[in-house]
Amino acid sequence: MIGLVELLIMLAVMAFCAYQRMAMKKAMVINGAALAVLLVFVDNSWGFFLSLLVYAVVALFYLLPDLRIDWISRKLYRFMQQVLPPMNETEKTALEAGDVWWEGELFRGKPDWRTLLEYKKPTLTEEEQSFVDNETEELCGMLDDWEVVHKRKDLPPEVWDFIKEKGFLGMIIPKEYGGKGFSALAHSTVVTKLATRCPSAAVTVMVPNSLGPGELLLHYGTQEQKDHYLPRLAAGKEIPCFALTSPVAGSDAGAIPDKGIVCKGEFNGEETLGIRVTWNKRYITLAPVATIVGLAFKLYDPEGLLGNEDKEDYGITCALIPSDHPGVEIGRRHLPMNQAFMNGTTHGKDVFIPMSMLIGGKDYAGQGWRMLMESLAAGRSISLPAMGTAVAQLSYRMTGAYALVREQFKLPIGRFEGVEEAMAQIAGLTYRTEASRVMTAGAVDMGVKPSVVSAIAKYHMTEMGREIMNHAMDVHAGRAIIMGERNYLANGYMNQPIGITVEGANILTRNLMIFGQGAIRCHPYVLREMLAAQLDDEEEGVKRFDSLLFRHIGYGVSNFFRTLGLGLTAAKIADKPVAGETGKYYQQLTRMSSVLALTSDVAMGTLGGDLKRKERLSARLADVLSHLYLCSTVLKYYEDQDRPLSDLPYVKWNMEYGLYKLQEAFYDFYDNFPNKVVGKALRLIAFPYGKSYSKPSDRLERELVKPMMKDCDLRDRITQFAYVGKTEDDVTGRVELAFKKVLAADEVRYKLRKAMKAKELDKNLTNMERIEQAIEKGIINEEEKQLLTDAETARLDVIQVDDYAHEQISGVISD
Ligand SMILES: Cc1cc2nc3c(=O)[nH]c(=O)nc-3n(C[C@H](O)[C@H](O)[C@H](O)COP(=O)(O)OP(=O)(O)OC[C@H]3O[C@@H](n4cnc5c(N)ncnc54)[C@H](O)[C@@H]3O)c2cc1C
């Protein structure tokens, strides 16, 4: 018995050290001290001697690195070399581009929440706020999405002029070049607001400010290129596009067949060193109106004209070519989901361009993939997350209003539980999109190039946009299906798959990028171990590998004990960085983070390079990392808003929703793990009492929906960037004004309902007839009648849909 007690004591000491992630030296001292205490004060049993033996073996390997290398590290090193798939240049560049940020903490199993809470609250400057409130508001007011999409298939000329004159195309260009010099948050906010009014206008504005010539020139352009192009781009004198995608290379963009051969040719009447380029690109946004074409192609120098005779294949290279340069062909337009933003093709055959047209000049020959990956990390954090947020905020505001105004079975449809369920998803996810938008753009403003976080934001915020839109469509039913001037949802619904597809199609983003790259980038040791295994000098490689391997083992042991301890105590032992109702969520997320760290290590250790091909497993761990990130954005957002009491149901819903999704992703992962024993063992360690989290309750969801149908501060705050028209004949203005009128008449409507119940009013009348009867019977006065009539008139107007003459509909809609 005493032996077991001694063994358990030593196990507890070891678990404590591992839980705290103590340095090896400190842990050895503490365990040694515990053994000494047992030796002096307790009967020394088999438990003591077994512990001593384990301690001695660990100490031996710790103190004698040569022994460790010969017995373990060298063998594992050679094994790694055999099983690891060789990393190609494209993968290596993608892995090296961008930074690991907060997601690294979440991945490593012991997030320091104080770091998160201490990140500066992202805010707009006075100038940026004014641009959102004035220029952007004015631009929204000029836009009629129906006219843009269904009649013109273009923005009206006055809108193009306004966009150029007011600097919308130069938001990211610094002031010294005549741009706005706006933060990522400001850029994202402008796109969000515009997209709530007209997605085509938002895309038009977003592309020059995102991944494209502007961004590439800023970071890699020569001074001459910057001085020439940036002021012209900022003033809208140049319209840029960026052409990477070709018919044969979409997701696999590294495989573009477009070629440039270094040669001498004539430019401006002189013999010049340059490149003969051939390309065929499609899907290129703004190409049909572009004055400069950013072009990605593969560069070859067979004659060594760049000065290195041994190097022929330089790899992907980016150039900036005026669209009127001889040989450049801007092709015909595509029609992406019927949207009106410009999108089309560009071609060129043996077009000679001088070296000065390479972005960054000759020095950046072959650096294109790295340049694109680095720019993508920033751009993907901004544009598409903003589009997802726009869908969310507009859907929240309009669905809440419509659900109050639209009545069926003599009740506003928002009062039915089934509708409430759909509305609750809109409400909770809208809060989540804004929290994620702000934190992710904030990271870019902190100078981070968040490549994994940007993939999470891109994937989840476009998917949330899609989910929210589907619910909004369901609640509106026929009112959202019938297209026309009155419909404020259908075009957004059509636009939704574009965000899903561009900047890394979503299936690939979830299955390959988030965890596939995230695991290697965020893991404290794996990438360095892989690089060590690829070294040509075996001795150096083994030495580096050995030091990493033993720290990696310590990390794994720590994750094991942390996961077990947090699971057995339901995370009660975890740190709470804040007091109050949200403290417990930090504890649960710490627990899930620890499960992720352990599970990732076991998955990588047992599946090795196969994990890359097991995309569905990788995608589930991607979901885990994503939900950890999304939950943490909500907690941070709540703190940054100074913890408004009214937000609490939204925060709770998001935590319960996120934890439930985390748990389901883990269960699916364990259930589908190829080695059933390992899968079951992991599940037992991670969830020792079975499933721990359930979905948000119906009661909580009811709390979320209430403010959607009230004219309250929370509704205004949650939808602060949704542009709503100001007049009764505006597509969204009419719904907003009707909503307010219905609310203003609420008390009088209640009087009518009471009178109906008391059989003082006839049930089988229309609402208008009932108002007349009520005034005749003296139940309401003239003032009340006016309120009711105004509300009913507005309500009847809101529920109308458009109709057209057959001749108008056949072909393009005409006046
Ligand atoms: C409206 C629009 C605007 C665009 N604008 C531009 C632009 O301005 N410039 C530009 O260069 N490009 C642009 N693109 C191209 C866009 O970025 C690509 O369309 C996108 O990368 C996907 O390529 P694809 O459509 O050829 O799909 P494919 O590559 O054919 O992929 C098809 C499906 O297979 C999945 N898939 C592919 N490989 C894998 C894998 N290994 N694992 C799992 N799933 C995988 C994808 O996720 C996708 O679901 C635009 C596209 C559209 C539609």
- Could you give the CA distance from residue 209 to residue 226 in angstroms, rounded to a whole number? 15
Average pLDDT (679-687) is 97
Per residue in 320-336, pLDDT (tens digit) is 999 999 999 999 999 99
Domain that holds residue 248: 240-379
Alpha carbon nearest to ligand 1 atom 7, residue: 284
Q: Which of these, 550, 551, 531, 555, lies nearest to 541 by C-alpha position?
A: 531
Per residue in 494-527, pLDDT (tens digit) is 999 999 999 999 999 999 999 988 888 899 998 8
Per residue in 451-480, pLDDT (tens digit) is 899 999 999 999 999 999 999 999 999 999
Task: Pick the last residue of a domain from 496, 512, 528.
Answer: 512
* 228: Cβ contacts below 8 Å, ≥ 6 apart: none
Is residue 199 situated within a structural domain? no
Task: Please tell me whether residues 19 and 42 are part of one structural domain.
Answer: yes
Average pLDDT (661-689) is 97
Q: For tokens 């589907």, what's the residue?
A: 470
Where does 192-258 show beta strands of DSSP type E? 240-243
Least confident of 90-99, 370-379, 489-498: 90-99
Tell me which H or E stretch contains 346: strand 343-354
Least confident of 220-224, 376-380, 696-700: 376-380
- Phi, psi (degrees; rounded to nearest 5) at 707: -65, -15
Alpha carbon nearest to ligand 1 atom 23, residue: 250
Per residue in 305-323, pLDDT (tens digit) is 999 999 999 999 999 999 9
- Could you give the CA distance from residue 235 to residue 231 in angstroms, rounded to a whole number? 6
Task: Please tell me whether residues 618 and 767 are part of one structural domain.
Answer: no
Distance 504 CA to ligand 1 centre (A): 6
371 touches 220 (CB < 8 A): yes
Residue 315 Rama label (left phi>0; alpha psi -120 to 50; beta): left
Which long-range contacts (C-beta less than 8 Å, at least 24 apart) are formed by 156-165?
A: 159/201, 162/138, 163/139, 163/201, 163/204, 163/205, 163/236, 164/235, 164/236, 164/237, 165/236
Task: Please tell me whether residues 266 and 286 are part of one structural domain.
Answer: yes
Is residue 499 situated within a structural domain? yes
267 touches 354 (CB < 8 A): yes
State which ligand 1 atom lies nearest to the alpha carbon of 286: 8
Average pLDDT (166-191) is 96
Task: Please tell me whether residues 308 and 248 are part of one structural domain.
Answer: yes
Copy the structure tokens of residue 634. 């909500």
Residue 4: the pLDDT is 87
Is residue 137 situated within a structural domain? no
Is residue 160 situated within a structural domain? no
Copy the structure tokens of residue 590. 């710490």
- Could you give the CA distance from residue 779 to residue 783 in angstroms, rounded to a whole number? 12
Per residue in 175-185, pLDDT (tens digit) is 999 999 999 99
Average pLDDT value over all residues in the chain: 94
**Top mutation candidate among 210, 248, 251 for ligand 1, by most atoms within 8 Å of CB:** 251
Task: Please tell me whether residues 303 and 405 are part of one structural domain.
Answer: no
User: Residues 374, 463, 503, 703: which is the catalytic one?
Assistant: 503
Task: Pick the last residue of a domain from 347, 379, 411.
Answer: 379
Copy the structure tokens of residue 408. 């069926």
* CB neighbours of residue 226 within 10 Å: 17
Distance 497 CA to ligand 1 centre (A): 11
284 touches 242 (CB < 8 A): yes
Residue 469 Rama label (left phi>0; alpha psi -120 to 50; beta): alpha
* CB neighbours of residue 212 within 10 Å: 25
246 touches 258 (CB < 8 A): yes
Per residue in 238-252, pLDDT (tens digit) is 999 999 999 999 999
Selected residue with higher pLDDT from 2 and 725: 725
pLDDT higher than 90, residue 578: yes
Residue 373: the pLDDT is 87
Per residue in 423-449, pLDDT (tens digit) is 999 999 999 999 999 999 999 999 998
Task: Give the DSSP per-residue string, 753-806.
Answer: HHHHHTTSS-TTS-HHHHHHHHHHTTSS-HHHHHHHHHHHHHHHHHT------H
779 touches 760 (CB < 8 A): yes
- Could you give the CA distance from residue 716 to residue 736 in angstroms, rounded to a whole number? 12
Distance 284 CA to ligand 1 centre (A): 12
What is the tally of structural domains in the chain?
Answer: 5
pLDDT higher than 60, residue 605: yes
Q: For tokens 């009106």, what's the residue?
A: 340
Task: Please tell me whether residues 556 and 670 are part of one structural domain.
Answer: yes
pLDDT bracket for residue 166 (50, 70, 90):
very high
Is residue 725 situated within a structural domain? no
Task: Please tell me whether residues 433 and 541 are part of one structural domain.
Answer: no
- Could you give the CA distance from residue 328 to residue 243 in angstroms, rounded to a whole number? 12
Kindly tell me the burial class for residue 681, based on how many C-beta atoms sit within 10 Å of its own C-beta (0-12, 13-18, 19 or more): middle
DSSP state for residue 358 in the 8-state scheme: B
Alpha carbon nearest to ligand 1 atom 49, residue: 507
Task: Pick the last residue of a domain from 479, 512, 545.
Answer: 512
State which ligand 1 atom lies nearest to the alpha carbon of 339: 1
Is residue 603 situated within a structural domain? yes
CATH number, residue 281: 2.40.110.10
pLDDT bracket for residue 167 (50, 70, 90):
very high
Judge whether 329 counts as a catalytic residue: no
**Top mutation candidate among 501, 512, 513, 613 for ligand 1, by most atoms within 8 Å of CB:** 501
Is residue 192 situated within a structural domain? no
- Phi, psi (degrees; rounded to nearest 5) at 487: -90, 120
pLDDT higher than 80, residue 91: no
Which pTM does this prediction carry? 0.95
Distance 178 CA to ligand 1 centre (A): 34
Q: For tokens 């409400």, what's the residue?
A: 427
Task: Please tell me whether residues 473 and 430 are part of one structural domain.
Answer: yes
391 touches 468 (CB < 8 A): yes
pLDDT bracket for residue 533 (50, 70, 90):
confident
pLDDT higher than 70, residue 814: no
Task: Give the DSSP per-residue string, 79-108.
Answer: HHHHHSPPPPHHHHHHHHSSB--HHHHHHT
Residue 671: the pLDDT is 98
Q: For tokens 């020959």, what's the residue?
A: 365
Looking at residue 256, its amino acid is I
130 touches 182 (CB < 8 A): no
CATH number, residue 465: 1.20.140.10
- Could you give the CA distance from residue 757 to residue 761 in angstroms, rounded to a whole number? 8
**Top mutation candidate among 245, 334, 339, 512 for ligand 1, by most atoms within 8 Å of CB:** 245
Residues having CB closer than 6 A to ligand 1 are 242-245, 250-251, 283-285, 336, 343, 498, 501-503, 505, 507-508, 511-512, 615
Alpha carbon nearest to ligand 1 atom 44, residue: 508
83 touches 609 (CB < 8 A): yes
Task: Please tell me whether residues 687 and 741 are part of one structural domain.
Answer: no
pLDDT higher than 60, residue 813: no
Q: Which of these, 605, 591, 628, 453, lies nearest to 526 by C-alpha position?
A: 605
SS3 state at 243: strand
Where does 202-342 show beta strands of DSSP type E? 240-243, 259-267, 270-285, 292-300, 313-322, 329-333
Residue 65: the pLDDT is 85
Residue 48: the pLDDT is 86
Residue 790: the pLDDT is 97
Copy the structure tokens of residue 803. 């109709």
Q: What's the full length of the chain, in residues?
A: 815
Distance 246 CA to ligand 1 centre (A): 10
Task: Please tell me whether residues 576 and 488 are part of one structural domain.
Answer: no
State which ligand 1 atom lies nearest to the alpha carbon of 505: 47
Task: Please tell me whether residues 532 and 666 are part of one structural domain.
Answer: yes
pLDDT higher than 90, residue 667: yes
Q: Which of these, 258, 148, 151, lies nearest to 203 by C-alpha position?
A: 148
- Could you give the CA distance from residue 622 to residue 518 in angstroms, rounded to a whole number? 8
Is residue 163 situated within a structural domain? no
- Phi, psi (degrees; rounded to nearest 5) at 792: -70, -40
* 523: Cβ contacts below 8 Å, ≥ 6 apart: 107, 108, 600, 604
386 touches 206 (CB < 8 A): yes
Q: Which of 22-36, 110-124, 544-558 has the highest mean predicted lDDT (pLDDT)?
A: 110-124
Task: Please tell me whether residues 404 and 527 are part of one structural domain.
Answer: no
pLDDT higher than 60, residue 815: no
